[in-house]
Amino acid sequence: MTKHQSKDATYTASELLCVMAARLLKDGQIVFAGIGVPLLAATLAQHQFAPHLTILFEGGTIGPRIVPGELPPSTNEQRCTRYANMVLPITDVLLLLQRGYVDVGFMGGAQIDRYGNLNSSFIGDPAKPKTRLPGTGGGNDIASLAQMIVAMKHEKRRFVEKVDFVTSPGYLRGGTSRADSGLPAGGMFRVVTDLAILGFDEKTRHMKILALHPGVTVDQVQENTGFKLDLNGEVPVTEPPTERELAVLRKLDPQRLYTS
């Protein structure tokens, strides 16, 4: 378990990822969250500074309040429904995306490319894949219709020139190709990793470095990326996780289900 040290606290790479991702959410937003870090980060935001954040789960749950220490291992698990406003059929909750009611889609992936296309289906040759992954679930719907935040570990094997399969569309081939392909809404907003916060150029839609986490260099980010990242001027450094953020996070996940 990699640990990072700031002047105020020691934290793991996964805890850093959760805190940085949570800070991107805003009170009053409606967030369609995937399992793992997205769920934990959305819950952290809800407990810290966004009490009116509404979380949606693919299983059909609207507006749950996750109980500290009882994180669900799946979005279809009954702990996802605690204190929920409604529990709908999965088709109905996905219909909210189509109607434009969702502000942010929030999930992870096994691979991502320079245009923000995500792969969570398989690694390798589709006829004989090296690794089979969970698949799309609602990932394609979410990425096609909502503004996206992606949270994932920053590794060269994950940040690839071209994903093996486009499970969830980002900006496809860059430029206007997403809208030209029939997806005028949504798109990739931010990619949050344990090294940096990344965004996308408004014209080319190439991934670019927006901020570095404490102690990380541009060279280190680039070395862990399988394609050339855009860089515009001096890059700011994010504020490290505070003791309060870490305390709340550890109360939510005392067994380190998602933050080990």
Joined together, the tokens standing for residue 80 give: 């996802």
Question: Which helix (H) or strand (E) is 129 found in, with range?
Answer: strand 128-132
Residues 6+ apart with CB under 8 A from 218: 209, 212, 231, 235
10-37 burial code (b ≥16 CB/10 A, e <16): ebbbbbbbbbbbbbbbeeebbbbbbbbb
Residue 2, classified by CB atoms within 10 Å of its CB into exposed (0-12), middle (13-18) or buried (19+), is exposed
What residues contact 78, with CB distance under 8 A and at least 6 apart? 72
Tokens of 246: 């870490």
**243 belongs to the catalytic site:** no
Catalytic residue (one of 15, 58, 70, 245): 58
- Give the residue numbers marked as catalytic: 58
